[in-house]
A and B are shown apart, each in its own frame.
Chain A
């Protein structure tokens, strides 16, 4: 009997945010076991939020992830406002969309240029790639800077911004600041479109999987902060019913929880979002997509990089729209008073997918309970499923280096942000 057993170890995954590792066990060219290990140490955010005033929450949850702090801030702010029945009004609503444009631009640009594209052009890192493709890399860094500029306008700094609060923003940008940023964005728009065209020329692998795509969906706009949770398989629920359909379990190899929708893995993030919401993109963005030849919905996970590029362009177009209509408000936030105890829910579209929060506050506005479901834990089961399918499709007889490279590329499609291993308490789901 010919038993060939090989183990492929990738002890530290390069170019992902946070740290993870992958172990494959192959027996007679069949995948015997596959373990994606996430060993990001837990930091217990949901626990130390308990007992704190609601007003601390927005500053604390920003620190769950240095790459997508705004997602956590926005989900928390909406959840807390829903406890108090506060509607911050149209100015705050628009500024929150603008704030989010900044986060998508910076996070997606970081991923497209520094983390993902070196894979497709056979470089070990963007630093190596920059020697051969200096214009593309420096353009990427310039685009990333646009994101920082937007975040800084409303948040004072791009990592752990300090401008957002329950009820709105601490400070409204001046007309001069808004105009200066508008000009910068308009000047950059055509090179952002060029970036989208360039990304579409990258030689990406062609895979085709039946993927359950989950995202927010709003009747009138491409989603950032509001909408129902929907899937391409017919799910359509208010965000407060999330726990009735989704469940997370704790598996031995990981400090990140595994998430399932009705028992099945599912995808969140840019590809799921664009697949579910393509019709809501402005005509200008749709025209650019048509020019690139990429079709949505797409069932190829490798189109994630294209989806990210399109969302960068959309964010620039949307930010320009918001800033063209910008006016200084009488007040940059509504007054907030802890009026009653209760539960609140928030769900917003982080760059990597929906970021779902639930808080219970007491009648003094102190947190009694919190549950935070970050995007990467939702993608975890789907990443493992994708790895199994893609590696078997490639053929496990291929040399280790090829298997390793494909596995790493598959994982990077999800832009896993492993530092967000915050977890939550849900004892109902412990079935093992």
Chain B
């Protein structure tokens, strides 16, 4: 019997699960290795199935999701988060540092119809995660690599060093040093293929903080390029604002108004 795999969706844009279906070769490759027992967007629906690997896209932002993730954990041997939302909270985690209730009121005529948590949090705030795939979005290559590693019992290893190394290996000219662009490469995990610098623009950190980033020193450098402190803060308070490293840097450079965070996930 082939290993059983589920792909779940929480609060997200659907972009990461496309890594399974966007590339025909990946889709056919994955389905030859495993049985996709739950993958609502592709067809099969069985959210409570027992599986060998559960891939989870999206962050936890509703009471339903808060309950659901615990059940998925119980039903899965391995739980793998795919993408920024599941792994760090994603863009919508920006609400965690704002007054979320005011934000809901600003968008909805009837916020009382909604059933939301004040925060959007990563899966690892709620259950044990076995493997995290960073990226906004993750690539088809990352998900296939993860499936193959887990099936063959290999300890997975994705890069944790900075995007700069990837960029240098590609032979790109540094956009920060030569053109003064506020490139987040020095504090960002590699894995995307240094796409932005190779397109002549500054990285905006889709892949989250690299290992031990010196965010204060880096932020000072951005100020040296002419960015105002609140602009520096916003460079950190973007897709991965909820990671400890970038949250701290964001506060340090004082960006958007900060309300003290609560680490409790429940309400």
Residue ranges of A at the interface with B (Cβ–Cβ < 8 Å): 12-19, 39-48, 51-53, 56, 59-60, 63-67, 69, 106, 110, 114-115, 118, 124-128, 130, 138, 141-142, 144-145, 148, 156-160, 162-163, 165, 170-171, 249-253, 255, 417, 419, 423-425, 427, 429-430, 432
Contact = CB atoms under 8 A, between A and B. Distances in A.
B92 interface: yes
A40 B40 CA distance: 14
A141 B16 CA distance: 18
A250 B201 contact: no
Contacts, number: 183
A126, A158, A251, most chain B CB atoms within 10 A? A158
Nearest to A139: B24
Contacts of B28: 130, 138, 141
Contacts of B14: 17-18, 65-67, 417, 419
Contacts of B144: none
A52 B95 contact: no
B173 to A, nearest CB: 13
A160 B136 CA distance: 7
Interface stretch (B5-13, B122-130, B214-222, B245-253): B5-13
Nearest to A163: B199
A127 B109 contact: no
B65 interface: yes
A15, A43, A141, A156, most chain B CB atoms within 10 A? A43
Contacts of A67: 14-15, 18
Contact of B13 (A66, A424, A429): A66
A130 B21 CA distance: 14
Nearest to A64: B13
Contact of A162 (B31, B40, B98, B196): B196
B43 A160 contact: no
Interface in B114-152: 114, 116, 120, 136-137, 139
The 4 closest A-B pairs by CB, nearest first: A66-B15, A125-B43, A141-B24, A43-B92
B62 interface: yes
A106 to B, nearest CB: 7
B22 A159 contact: yes
A66 B9 CA distance: 13
A339 B28 CA distance: 51
B24 A44 contact: no
B206 interface: yes
A15 B137 contact: no
B61 interface: yes
A12 B114 CA distance: 19
B33 interface: no
A141 to B, nearest CB: 3
B23 A44 contact: no
5 contacts: A48-B91, A142-B24, A159-B16, A162-B196, A430-B109
B78 interface: no
Interface stretch (B69-77, B99-107, B161-169, B258-266): B99-107
A144 B24 contact: yes
Given A46-B107, A157-B139, A171 B199 contact: yes
Given A114-B21, A250-B110, 7 more contacts: A41-B116, A44-B103, A47-B107, A48-B92, A66-B12, A162-B199, A171-B199
A126 B20 CA distance: 13
Contacts of B42: 15, 114, 125-127
A303 B211 CA distance: 52
A142 B23 CA distance: 9
B86 interface: no
B41, B61, B107, most chain A CB atoms within 10 A? B107
Contacts of A127: 31, 36, 42-44
Interface string B223-260: 00000000100100011000000000000000010000
Interface in B16-63: 16-19, 21-24, 27-28, 31, 36, 40-45, 47, 61-62
A406 to B, nearest CB: 18
A118 B139 CA distance: 26
B100 to A, nearest CB: 8
Contact of A16 (B12, B36, B41, B139): B41
Contacts of B31: 127
A423 B108 contact: yes
B43 A63 contact: no
B183 interface: no
Contact of B136 (A16, A18, A63, A425): A63
Given A60-B91, A419-B14, A14 B62 contact: no
B174 interface: no
A12 B107 contact: no
Contacts of B109: 249-250, 427, 429-430
Contacts of B139: 157
B195 A162 contact: yes
Given A160-B136, A163-B199, A12 B40 contact: yes
